[in-house]
Amino acid sequence: MSTDPNAKYQSPLTSRYASPEMAANFSNNKRFGTWRRLWYNLAAAEKELGLPGISDTALKQMHANLDTIDYAVADAEEKKRRHDVMAHVHAFGIAAPEAAGIIHLGATSCFVTDNADLIIFRDAMDLLINKLVCVISALSQFAETHRALPTLGFTHFQPAQLTTVGKRATLWVQELLWDLRNMQRARDDLGFRGVKGTTGTQASFLALFAGDHEKVEQLDALVTEMSGFSECYPVCGQTYSRKIDVDFMAPLASFGATAHRIATDIRLLANLKEIEEPFERDQIGSSAMAYKRNPMRSERICSLARHLMILIGDVLQTASVQWLERTLDDSANRRISIPEACLTADIVLTTLQNVVEGLVVYPKVIERRIRSELPFMATENFIMAMVKKGGDRQECHEQIRVLSHEAAAVVKQEGGDNDLIERVRACAYFAPIRDDLDELLNPATFIGRAPQQVDSFVAKHVAPALEPYKHIIESKKPAELSV
């Protein structure tokens, strides 16, 4: 069998896209090292509460070998026993021989598997939150920079009333703020499975402590605290409820929808040549069409976001089919779906930060598009101005209607420019407002309160939301993509 890593399938999530820190969080070293820490915490807590047979030497040996995992020993044992937890109990016992007889004492497999998952999931969400606040910060700065730059609005992807580039960006930021709220809440809601035994009754620990219920409760609380949690779930079966996985994954799926929407908007604007994602000096857009500047980063976000959005289906189905105290049909699915969701969200966030930090705006292109559409939008202003000068509203409306249709025919049938303004200037009927036309066509008069809305939104909503993460934002580095 070839040892060449390129001779077998590798997940693109880790081999091509994911950050080193998120890949490490779901590595074997993190998983099995966490198992060993849990076994150490359990033994230390049992000893502290007076359980005999656990020596200081045993604890020292365990502590000294938390990360020195002999995978060859563990793999050979798992192949023989078909049980990953007992394989690692065996490997840990070889590394810490004085503790071999008390490792996993009173515990079931889910003591290490479920509790380790909760630790790993919490750490993963911390990584994601730290990246999300950097995206929000960068995009908010973009919104403030372009708070007053008029741009054509679109409804149904058809020209609509003007907005500003910055105001449009606040629509994206608002959804990301909701994602931040949801992720932080999911992270803070994560509890610890604790020390519950095979079916959640703590019978084995009650036997170890000779029927002392108070000692068992103290053990549960002590191991929970030693493992970095303030509380554990009050009741469980063999596993913690798989509904917890749903609560954990839902914010990630929701963020996937946000990211897809933002990246899609950028792709549409790139087609209009109004805004572009960063394009590096030596980057190639197409192998055939050398002139192309494809929005490949935004396209990657959309592609991965679709995968992120559907993964919640796995945990929903798993939660719904857990029988009684537990079934094992959750295990293989969870090993794939939940790490993939975190890895995918990590990749999307890194890519989104890279895009947002390098967005390029083309004001002249935006201005040209406004000029082509604004004359039609300004017609209501023309009517109001004529009425103020003594004109009849209905007659003015008819004059504008006729001229607008003539100008539209030039655009649609002849491929010419919108000449409505020239027609209005040349029309004797509109002589009373001829000198006012330039001001009536000033784009800044069509954007309403957009700049003020940006200012208010950033000050009242973005700044307070980001304040707890100020130290993270201040120390952030530019998002670099490997490919």
Q: Compute how many other C-beta atoms are within 10 angstroms of the C-beta atom of residue 240.
A: 25
Contact (CB, 8 A) for 167 and 453? yes
| Catalytic residue of the set 15, 286, 303, 320 | 286
Could you confirm whether 88 is annotated as catalytic? no
| C-alpha 480: how far from chain center | 17
In angstroms, the CA 386 to CA 394 distance is 11
User: What is the chain's length?
Assistant: 483
353 forms bridges with which residues in the sheet? none
Q: Which of 156, 230, 471, 475 is catalytic?
A: 156
- CA-CA distances (angstroms) from residue 355 to 78, 131, 212, 283, 358? 45, 13, 59, 15, 5
Question: Which helix (H) or strand (E) segment is 271 a member of?
Answer: helix 243-271
d(CA 138, CA 473): 9
CA 348 to chain centre: 7
Closest alpha carbon to 48 in 218, 210, 211, 225: 218
- 150 has which bridge partners? 164
Strands 360-361 and 158-164: unpaired
156 is catalytic: yes
Residues classed as catalytic: 156, 286
